Amino acid sequence: FFMQDHHCIWINNCVGHENYKIFLVFVLYAATASIYSMALIIGGAVHSAPKDEQSGIDSPRKSIIICGVILCPMALSLATLLVWHVYLVFHNKTTIEYHEGVRAMWLAEKAGGLYHHPYDLGVYHNIVSVLGPNMLCWLCPVSRNIGNGVRFRTSYDIPLSTPPPKAEKHLAMS
């Protein structure tokens, strides 16, 4: 049984509970590599400008510019995809839940209510629910999923805080 969020054209696979962390780490590394490559290409173009006196077809500067033109939209789209999924992780939402939440928020406001996403556990717990409890493994493309992918912890499952012990002692004395 596999809970799916969406089909990703980047990896030609469905992304869901079992492989979301791997997908997220893949996008992180791909965005980092493309931005780093853009920096190298820009540096190469700037550095080769004074030396490039050839104007022929085999000019290294033309190759650098062509690579930059191809890489720029790819780096921009990967960076945008990464920022989008980091936002989703911080709010513990899937892509589908985000779009359904927009509608739920609109309906709640229309009825005079307030919508709260039930799976939002706070930023740290949201990150842990996707990347795992061990911070040293967060950037490793391995998945040790918490749960079975069918039932997830909600903000309603978090126990209410109890009063501090001193307050209980004070209440018992009066």
Distance CA 68, CA 93 (A): 34
User: Would you tell me how many other CB atoms lie within 10 Å of the CB of residue 26?
Assistant: 16
137 is catalytic: no
DSSP structural state of residue 12 = T
Please list the alpha-helical segments (H only) found in 10-145.
20-48, 60-90, 95-110, 123-131
Q: For 18, which DSSP code?
A: T
Are 155 and 118 within 8 A, CB to CB? yes
CB proximity list for 131: less than 8 A, separation 6 or greater: 21, 24, 89, 137, 138
Q: Which residues are catalytic?
A: 8
